[in-house]
């Protein structure tokens, strides 16, 4: 079992982006688990903090502990089913911002590499063309910096650690990634990956909605 680092969740107050009778949208801080881990020391998480204020809130999807950004929660069982199907059928549209090591070229492209858990080193994931599940990520360069690249990532699938492993496979791991980066790329206060935008259909009426939270880096 690979342990990335000690769990020291941030004390940031809840940042609510949208709230109505069916959905709750928040900006998750980096360093906070979406759901509880195993053991009392991993009990503090976003869903527990939300349910302390909104007891009826239900989980729909997750973000990695070290990823920040837009997450949606359901406020009713109907909304949970409705949103869950949208994620399952890939009807939602997601956009992430990341800072990568080195200069990623060309300026846009697609990663089409199947992924599977790396069992001896879990929770790490790995590319496996024989047994991996299909995983697709589009990328577009936003800007270049001093030996780094700022990109916008659009995952077409939702595999565990997909963006992190796909960027590693391109030879440009995400800066500050405690699992997949190494050397100087680890010298950051957080992992430079943020869920910037989520588009979905509202469970009540089916109107398309877009929620955004600007990257804090």
The 10s digit of each residue's pLDDT in 28-50 is 999 999 999 999 999 999 999 99
Q: For all residues of the chain together, what is the average pLDDT? A: 96
**Catalytic residue (one of 20, 44, 64, 147):** 64
Q: Which CATH class is domain 16-212?
A: alpha beta
pLDDT level of residue 143 (50, 70, 90 thresholds): very high
Instruction: Give the list of residues 6+ apart from residue 144 with CB closer than 8 angstroms, or none.
Output: 103, 150
The domain limits of the chain are 16-212
The pTM of the full predicted model, rounded to 2 decimals, is 0.95
CA–CA distance, 151 with 147 (Å, rounded to integer): 13
Phi, psi of 40, deg, nearest 5: -60, -30
Which pLDDT belongs to residue 5? 67
pLDDT band at 6 (very low <50, low <70, confident <90, very high): confident
Bridging pattern class, strands 115-117 and 193-201? unpaired
Residue 183's Cβ-side half-sphere holds a number of Cα atoms within 13 Å equal to 5
Mean pLDDT, range 4-14, rounded to an integer: 88
- Let me know: does 66 contact 191? Beta carbons within 8 Å: yes
pLDDT at 2: 39
pLDDT at 171: 98
pLDDT for res 3:
42
Left if phi > 0, otherwise alpha if psi is -120 to 50, otherwise beta: which for 167?
A: alpha
The set of residues, in sequence order, having a beta carbon less than 8 Å from that of 23 and lying 6+ positions away, is 72, 73, 74, 75, 79, 83, 202, 203
Known active-site residue 64: yes
Q: Check whether 79 has a pLDDT greater than 60.
A: yes
């Amino acid at each position: 079992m690979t342990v990335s680092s000690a769990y020291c969740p941030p004390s940031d107050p809840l940042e609510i982006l949208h709230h109505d009778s069916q959905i709750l949208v928040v900006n998750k801080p980096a360093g906070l688990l979406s759901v509880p881990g195993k053991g009392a020391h991993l009990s503090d998480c976003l869903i527990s903090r939300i349910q302390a204020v909104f007891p009826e809130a239900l989980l729909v999807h997750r973000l990695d502990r070290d990823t920040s950004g837009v997450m949606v929660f359901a406020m009713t069982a109907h909304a949970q089913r409705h949103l869950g199907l949208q994620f399952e059928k890939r009807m939602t549209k997601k956009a992430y911002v990341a800072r990568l090591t080195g200069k990623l070229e060309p300026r846009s492209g697609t990663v089409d590499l199947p992924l599977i858990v790396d069992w001896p080193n879990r929770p790490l994931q790995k590319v496996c063309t024989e047994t991996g599940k299909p995983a697709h990520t589009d990328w577009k360069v936003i800007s270049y910096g001093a030996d780094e690249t700022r990109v916008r990532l659009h995952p077409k699938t939702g595999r565990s650690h997909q963006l992190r492993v796909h960027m590693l496979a391109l030879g440009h791991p995400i800066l500050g990634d405690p699992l997949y980066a190494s050397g100087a790329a680890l010298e950051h206060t957080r992992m430079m990956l943020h869920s910037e935008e989520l588009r979905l259909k509202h469970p009540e009426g089916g109107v398309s909605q877009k929620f955004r939270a600007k990257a804090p880096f």
